[in-house]
Amino acid sequence: MLLLTGLFSAVQLCGQPYFSFIDTNSTWRDGIEINCSHGSSYLNHVWYDSQEFLKGDTIINSLAYKKLYLTGAKYLFIYNHGDETHDTSFYCNYYIGGLREDSAKVFWVDTNGVEHLRFNFDLQIGDSIDITYGLGFYAVVQSIDSILIANSYRKNINLSFNSATLFLIEGIGTQYGLLGRYDPYSICEGGILRSYFYNDSLAYQYQNSIYLLNCLTNSIDENPESFSTFHLYPNPATNELVIVNPEQGETQIDIYNALGEKVYEQRVTSGIQRTTINIADFSSGIYFLKVNTVDGAIVTKFVKE
């Protein structure tokens, strides 16, 4: 289902202003799926359900970017010779790089400082573009028209690759999401645009997702790699929850129930990397653990049995 309020032919694009991607009023709701298997004995399935937004400015490699953040969840399922692993991680205002524009081209710089060309809105009919961002599979522009979104007409470039039909819309991107890509193999990695919001209102819907995700914190994490070894166990837990945090500084630990109510808080002094919390009196159900440090915050889920 598409929320389209107007569609016009390419001849009416003359004089139409370019709609910039670098707009802090934009929010993208999308998903990325990584689904790799090795025969019937091993499966590694990762699914990201998230939204991205722009906030603040930064300079990377002497180029100016708008900072890009993500809020959402990562779902993990691993099947390994009969053993199953399930895990869910939640991300709150998680820094994932930046966007910039140059002559109707949109570039994304990742957290390692490597820049990637994401979209090119200067394409003409007959031009081709790599829709796999590095795998070398090119789609060809078949037609160019415009579409009315949030009271503004935006260029819509229609592309084709084998039997697949793609769109490329100014300020939105393709149906594979802001940072997802077309998977020519359909076996390992791909992305999907769910919907696009402008000024917090639904402006374009590609898949059934008409809501924005909420976040338990407004803090901005500028150093997501610092949480690479953070974890808690056991999960599910019955009496005690152990938190292992590599951060050396003072840490604030908060626990929220499924209604968003804070049910526990503790400040951990500097130098302590392992904390045990007594949850024996907690009611059974889903809880959210938020860990705040001087570098930012991370939110993850656990189950109390």
CA distances from 210 to 88, 108, 156, 276 (A): 22, 26, 22, 39
Q: Is the dihedral of CA 84, 88, 94, 97 positive or negative?
A: positive
Contact 206, 166 (CB under 8 A): no
Query: Residue 285: is it exposed, middle or buried by C-beta count within 10 angstroms (0-12/13-18/19+)?
Result: exposed
* Nearest CA-CA partner of 34 in 186, 231, 227: 186
pTM flag (> 0.75): no
Residue 148 burial (10 A CB sphere; 0-12, 13-18, 19+)? middle
Q: Which CATH number fits domain 224-304: 2.60.40.3080, 3.40.50.300, 1.10.10.10, 3.40.50.720?
A: 2.60.40.3080
Query: What is the predicted pLDDT for the residue at 113?
Result: 93
User: What are the extents of the domains in the chain?
Assistant: 7-205, 224-304
Query: Concatenated DSSP letters for 226-269?
Result: GGTT-EEE-SSBSSEEEEE----S-EEEEEEETTS-EEEEEEEP
Q: Of 32, 64, 35, 66, whose CA–CA distance to 51 is shortest?
A: 32
Q: How many CB atoms lie within 10 A of CB 55?
A: 12
pLDDT (tens place) for every residue of the chain, 305 residues total: 344 333 333 334 555 788 888 999 999 988 777 766 666 677 777 777 888 999 999 999 999 999 999 888 777 777 777 777 777 777 778 889 999 999 899 999 999 999 999 999 999 999 998 877 777 888 899 999 999 988 889 999 999 988 778 899 999 998 888 887 766 655 455 678 888 999 988 898 887 665 666 654 433 343 343 344 467 778 888 999 988 775 556 788 889 887 778 899 998 876 667 789 999 999 998 888 887 766 566 777 788 98
**How far apart, in Å, do the first and last CA atoms of the chain sit?**
40
Distance (Å, whole) CA 282 – CA 270: 27
Residues 132 and 106: beta-carbon distance below 8 Å: no
